[in-house]
Structure 1
Amino acid sequence: MKPIKTVYISGLGAIGAAYAGKLYEMDPECVRVIVNQQRRDRYVSDGVRVNGRLYPFRYLLPEDTADPADLIIIAVKQHQLEQAIIDIKRFVRKDTIILSLLNGIVSEEIIGNSYGMDKLLYSFVVGTDEVREGTSIQFSSMGRIVFGEKENIEYSSKVIAVKDLFDKAGISYSIPENMMRELWWKFMMNVGINQTSAVLRAPYGVFQNIGEARELTAMASREVVLLSRKAGINLDDSDIDKYLRILDTLSPQGKTSMLQDIEAGRKTEVELFAGTVIELGNKYGIDTPVNQMLFRMIRTLEQAGSS
């Protein structure tokens, strides 16, 4: 596979903007951001800043004529995925690689239903503490992108192409042998920390220092551990300990994306987290009382915040 020269990004939130900035620093000509007219007008008018630096990204409307991308990175929220799949259509060709940085364990298959699983690599971001206010993003830890095929004992040509790009751009990454286990691990982490932080309105420091908060996030995550055994993934309590150690490295003032959504009155991804846990619990006959409670609490916060 040829080297990646053009990268189009759908979604300029905290994660999308941070990685768009890294690619822009490598080569301003290589990166484009796919947006609708309203967002383009706002980004051009207000500017997009990452850690105080202004990035004059080049924007593409879904209807624009442009060469297809070598790599498309989708970094939207789950409820925006359907539109993103439509928006990237003109820019996908036979050998385009698609990376979905969405949370959860289902986005790759959803995208693959439209464009073919042969274009997809599984991926997620871990160890990041980006905070977004309007079009300004701040972070002390950018984290890393975990990506690959389902199994990566030997690297495919797609994996090598993305690896080479990330090396050139200075983007931290890891390529696990068992990608599906890592994907479930990140899902377990999000089910725990994202949801409990939103309900408690608590930054990372609360979970670093208060035992009861720490145990609450672990309780939500243990339900994913039980489900993973039924799904053949086989997470265990050591995987919870692993993410709690990562949590301890983040800025105490940092906030999860779900907490930021609640504070800003935006739609959260609770259906992607607790909703998926509840659905899988029904499928496998496993009780999920913690996530049942979190789902109802977060939906209440959403509706109260939007009223």
Structure 2
Amino acid sequence: MYNVLVIGAGAMGLLYAAQLSSSEKINVCFGASGERYKRLKDHIFIFNEKKYDFKVIDIENYSDKPFDLVIVAVKFFQLDESIRNLYKLIGENTVFVSLLNGLDSEDIIANMYGEERVVYSMTVGMDSVRNADGSVTCENFGKLVFGAKKANQIKNVKLVKSIFDTAKVAYEIPENIMKSIWWKFMVNVGINQASAVLGLNYGGFQKSEAARAPMLGLMKEVILISQYENINLNEDEDLNVKWFKVLHSLSPTAKTSMLQDIEAKRKTEVEIFAGKVIKLANKHGIDTPYNKIFFEIIKGIESSYL
């Protein structure tokens, strides 16, 4: 029996909790603390119109056996607070999987709990949407892409693979996980930020060359920086082929997470997208005009409601 803890009950957390709970050999629960625990402990989770009665544990008062896998599925700016008090829940062989966007979440978790507990990962191809009533709908489940950055993480890859095989959840283990993570970073910098400013769902970008233009401008700046970071994304393969194949597989009515955040008047993750691009560009003496202007626009939109 595998014990899996999910931190974060949004669209991504519920997507994976629902899939993993399909196996009787996997026990899935959510973890929270303080006021969030009080709100979630009697909550009925709804995924694709099906109700799930997931157990919610109080992280601060947990005293049962440690979890095999901890899936972190919060927003980046919530990461530190969300994982700060997990010591009671983890054991010698507990593994962390981060579903967070950006380039830094695994390193933050590793610094707190040890690099030997982490796998590096990213998600791709899902179009899960959190609705106004808190339910989640998803047409394409996508897959988790994960791997080891260092030799002491190979055992973690084997554990996650075993758990996902048990529940028949889609995944991929690439040869170069860091290039995969950078590819997803490129995608998020482009589609998330362009959609947030233009107010378009995936269908808007599937149909309109004019809409795709700023998206591509944002992405090409990431490709440029990747050359300086020894990641070496390729415009023809990684953008024109791989990304467009994924884009046209997504539900045209679905929306990016950043557009959902703006529509719900929530804080966005622009700091880990355009903000990170600008920081890396400054490091290497590169100009990234698309990301500079999108950073200012999105911060301006946020300031109108935050």
| TM-score after normalising by structure 2 | 0.94
1:64 equivalent in structure 2: 61
Spell out the pairing of 1:1-12 with structure 2 (5 A cutoff).
5-12=2-9
Structure 1 residues 52-86: Cα deviation after superposition (integer angstroms, max 9, x where no partner): 01110001112122221111110110000001121
2:21 counterpart (14, 20, 24): 24
Q: Which runs of 5+ in 2 are unaligned?
A: none
1:266 equivalent in structure 2: 266
1:143 equivalent in structure 2: 142
| TM-score after normalising by structure 1 | 0.94
Cα distance in 1 for partners of 2:16, 2:141 equals 9
Cα distance in 2 for partners of 1:28, 1:12 equals 21
User: Does the CA contact (< 8 Å) of 1:278 and 1:291 recur in 2?
Assistant: yes
Asked if 1:192 is matched to 2:160, the reply is no
- Flag as ranges the 4+ runs of structure 1 deviating above 4 A: none
Shift of 1:46: 4.9
Shift of 1:88: 2.2
- Cα gap change, 1:235 to 1:255, in 2 (>3 Å): same
Cα distance in 2 for partners of 1:16, 1:46 equals 14
Spell out the pairing of 1:166-181 with structure 2 (5 A cutoff).
166-181=164-179
User: Does the CA contact (< 8 Å) of 2:5 and 2:67 recur in 1?
Assistant: yes
Structure 1 residues 251-303: Cα deviation after superposition (integer angstroms, max 9, x where no partner): 11000000000000111100010000000000011101100011111111111
1:51 counterpart (45, 48, 53): 48
Spell out the pairing of 1:80-95 with structure 2 (5 A cutoff).
80-95=78-93
Look up the SS of the partner of 1:246 in the other structure.
Answer: helix
Spell out the pairing of 1:1-307 with structure 2 (5 A cutoff).
5-27=2-24, 30-65=27-62, 66-133=64-131, 134-150=133-149, 156-237=154-235, 238-241=237-240, 242-306=242-306
Look up the SS of the partner of 1:161 in the other structure.
Answer: helix
- Cα gap change, 1:161 to 1:45, in 2 (>3 Å): closer
User: Does the CA contact (< 8 Å) of 2:29 and 2:56 recur in 1?
Assistant: yes
- Cα gap change, 1:179 to 1:193, in 2 (>3 Å): same
Look up the SS of the partner of 1:283 in the other structure.
Answer: helix
Look up the SS of the partner of 2:96 in the other structure.
Answer: strand
Structure 1 residues 103-144: Cα deviation after superposition (integer angstroms, max 9, x where no partner): 111111111111111110001110010110242000100110
Report the number of matched residues: 302
Look up the SS of the partner of 1:96 in the other structure.
Answer: strand
- Cα gap change, 1:165 to 1:28, in 2 (>3 Å): closer
Look up the SS of the partner of 2:126 in the other structure.
Answer: coil
Name the aligned partner's letter for residue 146 of structure 1. V
Cα distance in 1 for partners of 2:283, 2:42 equals 48
Look up the SS of the partner of 1:265 in the other structure.
Answer: coil
Structure 1 residues 186-212: Cα deviation after superposition (integer angstroms, max 9, x where no partner): 000000000000001110000000001
Shift of 1:38: 2.9
Cα distance in 2 for partners of 1:64, 1:24 equals 24
Cα distance in 2 for partners of 1:131, 1:56 equals 20
Name the aligned partner's letter for residue 255 of structure 1. K
Look up the SS of the partner of 1:16 in the other structure.
Answer: helix
Name the aligned partner's letter for residue 162 of structure 1. V
- Report the identity percentage: 43
Cα RMSD, aligned residues only: 1.7
Q: Which runs of 5+ in 1 are unaligned?
A: none
Structure 1 residues 18-65: Cα deviation after superposition (integer angstroms, max 9, x where no partner): 111112221386111111243344335552100001110001112122
Look up the SS of the partner of 2:60 in the other structure.
Answer: coil
Cα distance in 1 for partners of 2:141, 2:275 equals 28
User: Does the CA contact (< 8 Å) of 2:122 and 2:180 recur in 1?
Assistant: no
Cα distance in 2 for partners of 1:51, 1:44 equals 21
